[in-house]
Structure 1
Amino acid sequence: MRGIRRKEKEIENKHEMISILESVQFITIAMSLNNEPYLVTLSHGYDRKKNCIYFHCAQEGKKVDILRENNVVWGQAFVHHGYVDGSCDHLYA
């Protein structure tokens, strides 16, 4: 897989990653089944001792069906920095 294009935006520090996971309200996970993508935004919990992300879901349903067939997922935590003055009206990390 190709690396991030804008290296200045990449977060490599594990402590910073953990801080983000503990502070953001939602994460988005992306899954795929039969070459069909499925993304869902979820509330979550992060267990620092187990280095594990938890999210609530039913014991049956689309997410569980996909994960049973293909447990490879991608995740994103969205950090919102609010509005800023200047050349950009909105700032995201």
Structure 2
Amino acid sequence: MVIAGMDVTAALAAWRESPYPEAMLHCADLITGNIKKLDKGRTIISEQVTAWLLSESLALHMFTVAVEAPLRPDDRERLAWASEIIENNLKLPGN
């Protein structure tokens, strides 16, 4: 969708609102796998996706899923770590 120049707002909302915690685990993998780029303020996939990945609402949602969903301890940790990465990026100058 991004490559085609399409607006991905609806797709990102569907990803976030998925009833399956695995959706947030995939999101956490995207964040943690790109931590160096995010920490340097680089774009991941597109500006729209990067802004969504670094949004406070996504961090809160990931943390909520980590606490409330029936997950293995290591999956809870992955979500909490991704949420922390977002929070840390929000505190960087210029954000």
* Higher-RCO chain (CA-CA 8 Å, sequence separation at least 6): 2
Answer yes or no: same fold by TM over 0.5: no
Q: What TM-score, normalized to structure 2? A: 0.28
Normalised TM-score (structure 1): 0.29
Larger proportion of strand: 1
Q: Which has the higher helix share?
A: 2
